Amino acid sequence: MLRIRRFYLDLFTSGVQTSKNQEETSDSHKLNGKNQPEVIHWHNRGVAARALHLSRGVEKPSGRVTYIVVLEGLCRFSVQELTTRGTYYTARIIPLDMTKSDMDQVEQDPEFVMLSRQFKAMAMELISVLEQKQKTGGRTKVLLETVPVHKLADIFVASFEISFEEQLSMLDSVDLKVRLLKATELVDRHLQSIRVAEKITQKVEGQLSKSQKEFLLRQQMRAIKEELGDNDDEDDDVATLERKMKAAGMPPNIWKHAQRELRRLKKMQPQQPGYNSSHVYLDLLADLPWQKASEEHELDLKAAKDHLDSDHYGLVKIKHRIIEYLAVRKLKPDARGPVLCFVGPPGVGKTSLASSIATALGRKFVRISLGGVKDEADIRGHRRTYIGSMPGRLIDGLKRVGVCNPVMLLDEIDKTGSDVRGDPASALLEVLDPEQNKTFNDHYLNVPYDLSKVIFVATANRVQPVPPPLLDRMEVIELPGYTPEEKLNIAMRHLIPRVLDQHGLNFDFLQIPEAMVKLVIQRYTREAGVRNLERNLAAIARAAAVRVAEREHAIPLSKDVQQIASPLLESRLADGADVEMEIIPMGVNNHDISQALRITSPLVVDEAMLEKVLGPPRYDDRETADRIATPGISVGLVWTAFGGEVQFVEATAMVGKGDLHLTGQLGDVIKESAQIAMTWVRARATQLKLATAEETNLLEGRDIHIHFPAGAIPKDGPSAGVTLVTALVSLFSQRKVRTDTAMTGEMTLRGSVLPVGGIKDKVLAAHQYGIKRVILPERNLKDLAEVPSAVLSSLEILLAKQMEDVLEQAFEGGCPWRQHSKL
């Protein structure tokens, strides 16, 4: 007795129920497939109804006709007995509705009162929500007030779409309290579902309107672009990018990764936040040389040697080592040779040697500056999650050079430092390790890149700061500074022709005699390399270009060539200032000027012109003599990143409590050297006749101040030991140190003189300074082999084993007080 004919109950505000008698009307007569009448299960409860209206619907094309019956529900009933009469059924029923007195009784029940209040409140809420939504009038509200609550529950529930089982269970709820409870629950559920549906609609509507807005704006933008004739659309842009990516020849795994990123990009709107960064990233992937390489031609060692010789003067040993390196590459192109590291002061040709290696190998050359790199991300790149992230310098360099097998110069590898942002040196270790650099991982790129085809060459000013593991991967080739003679040759053969060419001049216009170049070297430059020399020559060339052009008043220039008047230049030349002026004749090339000026005689540089252009001499030989005018000053030789240097040490005494003051940007080691020097001198005060036998304490009632002039340059290292002692002995003895003597050497507490580094550079610096005698530690004798004989022959080299040997040589006539004491 479970099945019942389906009724679809629609809510009528008047309380009348409509029943659409649908196709199921003939269910009871249905025959199953075997022509057996189907057994129909009737529910044992039902609703008695009165037919109010019957209407015939429009006939469908299939010939079916729909009838609509409007029924008014009267009361629930229960079926007592069911019988068939012909083609339809009849039933004996008992009405189930309550009598009036029953009703009155229930209405007194507090539980019922509460339930009906709850139901009404819920129903009220539902009605207001529906009213808000459909903007209907308050007709339904009237129902709440007029219809008894138990009927109201039926009416409300009938208006929702609830399952058939729920409908039956509602029908079975004869008990009023049960019915109200169920109805409240159903109304609440309906209310919730309306709210959820509303929320969803709101969201969808919001999105729709945003995307519609974007669409509109984009259409407008397109129209503006078309109007401007600027048709490179985003679509074209992405298509170009895709073409570029396809042509980049990425390895399959990277291609897959790039494709994924491209798909993401295609889904994005250009105005979306990640669009630009994604585009830039894909651009980089497409621009990187994954396969593109310079064709390596058959290496001709003879040609490579000629090329090195024609570009660089001297440097015999170094060129020889480079040829060896190239020879190994020729025999075994994929040999994992050491990474060459050129070490030397600035301007000695490190970069130009590296570029010559590239030319000899027929490869492209790219220079990566590592000076001041403290952040590991500079080498490895930032992760793309950071705003403004970039690839590291290596990947950037490869993108610039456009081939995967360039010669890459890691410039100033000694200038990388480490701090909280990581250690760039450890990233460089990976770069230089042939085992690891096949899959170099740049954080920005986020896919491995094969660096194994790159030839690395490094440069450094000093070896010391390079971390040992990094140094271990490299072969250090030292390039000490040049002697004045070498500089002269470099200038005459390489620098002057290049400088003239750069300024549109040649030897027909300007001649710089050897004697003048020597003067520039002696008086205007004091450096290990030739960079300042080249700069000074360029200044001469610039001034000469102006002079030559100005001298042409009388010569008719071709009409395109403009006269260059320069009262400003004249006044600056008269002031003896450095002249920084570029001459760019409009529409005229150098050749034209040369032709126009050919008839004049060449301008020969003389001393007067040097002074006009470069100013008064910056350095002269008398300097040491002038500076050692009083006792307490000595001349040391030190080694800096710029090569050898002459360093004065000044000591003075004043009234005090026996303190030692040190100034001049000193490191810890040099401060310790000063302490040692002081101790040594005090310990030998009587022996050296610096103090009388009674008054042995040299510091009694006085302070000592030691200063290293040129305070802006940081100084450190032990090699000033002997110079410090000499200055102190000079101070206490009130005897002047010889002005023609310079010294270097570490001193132990017991007075032994230990060898130091950078001897060649130091001796060259002394020579350049016009110093005639150099005191060196005895154990540095072997290092003199590196010093050119021309320099050695002009110097007197004095070797010292003990501090006393140094003092013996540093003072005029030896160390008389010591001899005296021996007597």
Interface residues toward ligand ADP, by CB under 6 A: 312-315, 346-352, 459, 490, 494, 529-531, 534
Residue (313 or 509) nearer to ligand ADP, CB? 313
Q: Do the Cβ atoms of 76 and 153 come closer than 8 Å?
A: no
- With H, G, I as helix, E, B as strand and everything else as coil, classify residue 72: strand
Is residue 726 annotated as involved in ligand binding? no
- In the numeric block, the tokens 């200055």 are attached to 727
Minimum distance from CB of 454 to ligand ADP (Å)? 19
657, two tokens: 């409590």
Is residue 721 annotated as involved in ligand binding? no
Measured between alpha carbons, how far is 166 from 172 in angstroms, rounded to an integer?
A: 10
Minimum distance from CB of 720 to ligand ADP (Å)? 26
Measured between alpha carbons, how far is 725 from 740 in angstroms, rounded to an integer?
A: 18
Minimum distance from CB of 342 to ligand ADP (Å)? 7
Q: Which among 120, 182, 715, 762 is annotated as catalytic?
A: 762
Residue (352 or 563) nearer to ligand ADP, CB? 352
Residue (93 or 533) nearer to ligand ADP, CB? 533
How far separated are the first and last CA of the chain, in Å rounded?
Answer: 145
717, two tokens: 């290292």
Give CA torsion, residues 759, 761, 762, 765, to 10 deg.
Answer: 160
Residue (290 or 524) nearer to ligand ADP, CB? 524
3-state SS track over 131-157 = HHHHCCCCHHHHHHHHCCHHHHHHHHH
Q: What is the DSSP string of 590-657?
A: HHHHHHHHTTSPPEEP-HHHHHHHH-S-S--TTHHHHH--STTEEEEEEEETTEEEEEEEEEEEEESS
Residue (290 or 642) nearer to ligand ADP, CB? 642
Minimum distance from CB of 687 to ligand ADP (Å)? 48
- The question of whether 762 is a catalytic residue gets the answer yes
Is residue 739 annotated as involved in ligand binding? no
Minimum distance from CB of 397 to ligand ADP (Å)? 17
Is residue 757 annotated as involved in ligand binding? no
Is residue 274 annotated as involved in ligand binding? no
- In the numeric block, the tokens 């020849």 are attached to 249
Minimum distance from CB of 801 to ligand ADP (Å)? 36
The residue at minimum Cβ distance from ligand ADP is 349
Minimum distance from CB of 466 to ligand ADP (Å)? 16
Is residue 350 annotated as involved in ligand binding? yes
Number of neighbouring beta carbons within 10 Å of residue 651: 25
Number of neighbouring beta carbons within 10 Å of residue 696: 13
Minimum distance from CB of 555 to ligand ADP (Å)? 34
Residue (345 or 381) nearer to ligand ADP, CB? 345
Q: Indicate the pairing of strand 746-747 with strand 753-754.
A: antiparallel
Measured between alpha carbons, how far is 441 from 170 in angstroms, rounded to an integer?
A: 70
Residue (183 or 409) nearer to ligand ADP, CB? 409
Q: Indicate the pairing of strand 448-449 with strand 440-441.
A: antiparallel
Extended beta strands in 388-546, E state: 407-411, 440-441, 448-449, 455-460, 474-478, 510-511
185, two tokens: 């629950």
Q: Do the Cβ atoms of 288 and 249 come closer than 8 Å?
A: no
Measured between alpha carbons, how far is 382 from 386 in angstroms, rounded to an integer?
A: 7
Q: Which among 19, 294, 719, 730 is annotated as catalytic?
A: 719
Residue (642 or 769) nearer to ligand ADP, CB? 642
The long-range contacts involving 251-259, CB below 8 angstroms and separated by at least 24 positions, are 251/290, 253/447, 254/285, 254/290, 254/447, 257/446, 257/447, 258/282, 258/285, 258/286
Residue (313 or 769) nearer to ligand ADP, CB? 313
Angle value at C-alpha 787, between 785 and 791, nearest 5 degrees: 130
- The question of whether 319 is a catalytic residue gets the answer no
Minimum distance from CB of 348 to ligand ADP (Å)? 5
Backbone angles phi, psi at 549, to 5 degrees: -65, -40
Q: Indicate the pairing of strand 18-19 with strand 67-85.
A: antiparallel
Angle at which helices 590-597 and 531-550 pack, to 10 degrees? 60
Active-site residue numbers?
A: 719, 762
Residues of each annotated binding site for ATP: 344-351
Residues of each annotated binding site: 344-351
